[in-house]
Structure 1
């Protein structure tokens, strides 16, 4: 079996293992391949109705144009292999599209899965570009931004890197790191949650504008209010997002966000003066 074929099976979640008899250790043509039954058995007593399968297929279509589209399609293929064929998706026309727009997201997901150390160039706010070497733990979507939760090798500490601030190709170093514990990951995610809660923005928008639609779609019921309060990860990235709405958005807090928006608009005005 070719290595690419084994990798294709593994990408679909099929755990292929290799067995070579002691007498054939010097001859890999005698390799035997098998799939452990316990890794490919549907949980006992679990079944999916046609409606449930259609909902899963709908979820896959939501990701159809995102970086996870191939993985979502493979997951649906495995579900169909159970014998519960889809009867057609009446809701397909209503399926939204999730766009990640982050070219490195899938590579980081794979590096986290395979415990591969990677390196990339990163531009922090108002700082020069720095080379980072990290152990990817998990890719998360937090407060409207994709970020990487990881171990920074040089700083010997947990770090969160915004994917939008990665300014180079993500390259594996060839090193593999030790698997982390669930407790380590949970601690990192709790620190991330607490950090996010410390950053709260309050804005108001003009009703009926693009900004109003943007916030109304992402918010809970406000009872007709046009003032929104939400958490954010990066004040400069948030300023970039709000700047496009111009005068239809008024920032009440924090002052750093107002300053960042004003500074960006002044730069645009000066560049076109």
Structure 2
């Protein structure tokens, strides 16, 4: 039976902490089941992999050279207790509340889980986002995220294939210095070895797995480097470019309401002149109209819109993946080994700090059912000095509902925060500092300084990371709406209905603003429809706050959904595929069934439809990462719609600009 890797790694930590003079490779090969009966090369590969897993947990293994008892120069390994233990940090009640609230900004992804583990280790109780004027979410869903963050702190070069805004691809080699979020996107910056200059890359444009490059790391991060300043130099210009676009008569109301000029073109078509800020966002607006829109100029917008359609079409031309839908579980997917090891070590220190614990307390604290908890405790009872005697193993004592652990003095201290945990809290607190109405800025800064001091082993991490919400870029723009929400003022909107492709007027009771993946939404009770509604703020053409106030009717406001995806009433179910980078968005769609066992990390889910146009928007804007799978006729309909759009863009590309 193969050795349980969690048991091996916990025992490795126990052993390397317990022997201050270190443990030789020969000892490990003779005592650890996983390392026995294998050749030297395989052992070295296994041990290097296990060391890497522990170092990702923030547990550094020190290598020392000295003579063994036979006088031979030998390599020994050890973990120094002072580099393992988390220093005690005392937070004031306001600081603890700020940290807990900031951590809740993360969605249900890897960094969201890391933030919750960090809270538990710091002794801060987690919390859910409370009802407030502005409720933001941040996500680390880009597949390149983890490798780039590790490269920044470990100082190694990486290589990847990158697509520019119009889809042109190139292979890049980068020595990364910093990682940050702005304008709703994550960016990495560093020294581009091909261009021999500092460059910034958007993570969503990285097309393949980020790999460690063979190149030596030659350009260290400058001492005065600041990721915040690097992103500050990026400008989101307003209306700096102009496009000439033809639309079928009566279509594309969103573009028509933004047009500077509309003239008749050939029969059944109108030609628009529209100013825009960002070629990618404009391309999404055009692509979502299918064969009802064609770009005349600029060429960059033509290529960008065509690229979105072609990538979506390519996904729908591939064979439908095999899948089996089941009701979603709370924790779907394989738990990474580092998470299981961290949980095991945290469980030992938690039981020690509390002088023992009950099954109920452990189940609640670690969010485990009794059966899984029993299995975790049984595994811990096998951990300790490999091949050791009874008093050299963890002694897990269970009496009725009470649990205690003896022989665990080397693991009784909390392990220091790892990279993901430190990053998640540092970024969340920086985001919080710019959120309106969250409290005292000095409290947030004080909490961040204490966490920064506890994570000093990550080479000045605070200068290498940054993030800000889109809403914090221009707070004055939202102040009128904040006031309407706080003071319960009735508001009138002129709003583009995507499903109907029409300009509508709505009278609403605004409840909250939410931000997710760079897009801002307004959740409200719509008196026009006498129902809750979610409005995309980029589709609002005018907003007027009226003198009329609405009552703070808890019963009515409770009906306003917290989810951003709004399926149609009595909507049909569709089966769709969420690419790996879209997995964090899955909960917003409230899937009724899921299939998570896809080799590419994607998830196939059954959701209620929000209408044909909503599906088309998702298909084109995510360009191959969101795919309609079933029913077959709906997939065929989407594919044919994309083929028609592809032909239209091809014909447009042949026309003179």
Q: By the TM > 0.5 criterion, same fold? A: yes
**Contact 1:122–1:166 at 8 Å: present in 2 too?**
yes
Residue 157 of structure 1 and its aligned partner are, at CA, apart by: 0.4
Distance across 1 between alignment mates of 2:136 and 2:232: 27
Residue number among 175, 190, 195 corresponding to 1:155 in the alignment: 195
**Contact 1:15–1:36 at 8 Å: present in 2 too?**
no
Q: Which residue of 2 aligns with 1:200?
A: 238
Cα distance change of structure 1 residues 21 and 125 upon mapping to structure 2, 3 Å threshold: same
2:156 equivalent to 1:116: yes
Distance across 1 between alignment mates of 2:72 and 2:232: 50
Distance across 1 between alignment mates of 2:130 and 2:48: 39
Residue number among 44, 49, 53 corresponding to 2:92 in the alignment: 49
Look at both structures and tell me which one has the larger radius of gyration over its CA atoms: 2
Q: Which runs of 5+ in 1 are unaligned?
A: 203-210, 212-230, 247-254
**Residues 1-273 of structure 1 mapped to structure 2, 5 A cutoff:** 1=12, 6-23=51-68, 26-28=73-75, 30-36=76-82, 40-42=86-88, 47-50=90-93, 52-80=95-123, 86=125, 89=127, 91-92=128-129, 96-126=136-166, 128-178=168-218, 179-183=220-224, 185-186=225-226, 190=229, 192-196=231-235, 199-201=237-239, 235-240=278-283, 260=301, 264=305, 270-271=645-646
Distance across 2 between alignment mates of 1:62 and 1:189: 19
**Contact 2:59–2:84 at 8 Å: present in 1 too?**
no
Residue 129 of structure 1 and its aligned partner are, at CA, apart by: 1.2
The RMSD of aligned alpha carbons is: 4.1
Residue 154 of structure 1 and its aligned partner are, at CA, apart by: 1.1
Distance across 1 between alignment mates of 2:93 and 2:231: 39
Distance across 1 between alignment mates of 2:239 and 2:85: 46
**Contact 1:12–1:75 at 8 Å: present in 2 too?**
no
Cα distance change of structure 1 residues 132 and 116 upon mapping to structure 2, 3 Å threshold: same
Q: Which runs of 5+ in 2 are unaligned?
A: 1-11, 13-46, 241-253, 255-275, 290-296, 310-641, 649-657
Deviations 1:242-272 (A, max 9, x none): 55898xxxxxxxx97xx949x849x777448
Q: Which residue of 1 aligns with 2:532?
A: none
Deviations 1:162-204 (A, max 9, x none): 1121112211124441432222x24x7646433416x2349xx
Residue 15 of structure 1 and its aligned partner are, at CA, apart by: 4.3
Residue 65 of structure 1 and its aligned partner are, at CA, apart by: 2.1
Larger relative contact order (Cα-Cα within 8 Å, sequence gap ≥ 6): 2
Cα distance change of structure 1 residues 71 and 114 upon mapping to structure 2, 3 Å threshold: farther
The count of corresponding residues between Structure 1 and Structure 2 is 221
Residue 144 of structure 1 and its aligned partner are, at CA, apart by: 2.4
Question: SS at 2:114's partner residue?
Answer: helix
**Contact 1:143–1:196 at 8 Å: present in 2 too?**
no
Cα distance change of structure 1 residues 4 and 79 upon mapping to structure 2, 3 Å threshold: farther
Distance across 2 between alignment mates of 1:8 and 1:77: 21
Cα distance change of structure 1 residues 240 and 108 upon mapping to structure 2, 3 Å threshold: farther
**Contact 1:124–1:165 at 8 Å: present in 2 too?**
yes
Question: SS at 1:68's partner residue?
Answer: helix
Deviations 1:69-88 (A, max 9, x none): 343234224312xxxx53x6
TM-score with structure 2 setting the length: 0.29
**Contact 1:115–1:176 at 8 Å: present in 2 too?**
no
Distance across 1 between alignment mates of 2:136 and 2:84: 36
Cα distance change of structure 1 residues 128 and 92 upon mapping to structure 2, 3 Å threshold: closer
Residue 141 of structure 1 and its aligned partner are, at CA, apart by: 1.0
Distance across 2 between alignment mates of 1:180 and 1:169: 23
TM-score with structure 1 setting the length: 0.62
Question: SS at 2:161's partner residue?
Answer: strand
> Which sits farther off after the overlay, 62-71 or 107-116?
62-71
**Contact 2:59–2:79 at 8 Å: present in 1 too?**
no
Question: SS at 2:157's partner residue?
Answer: strand
Q: Which residue of 1 aligns with 2:409?
A: none
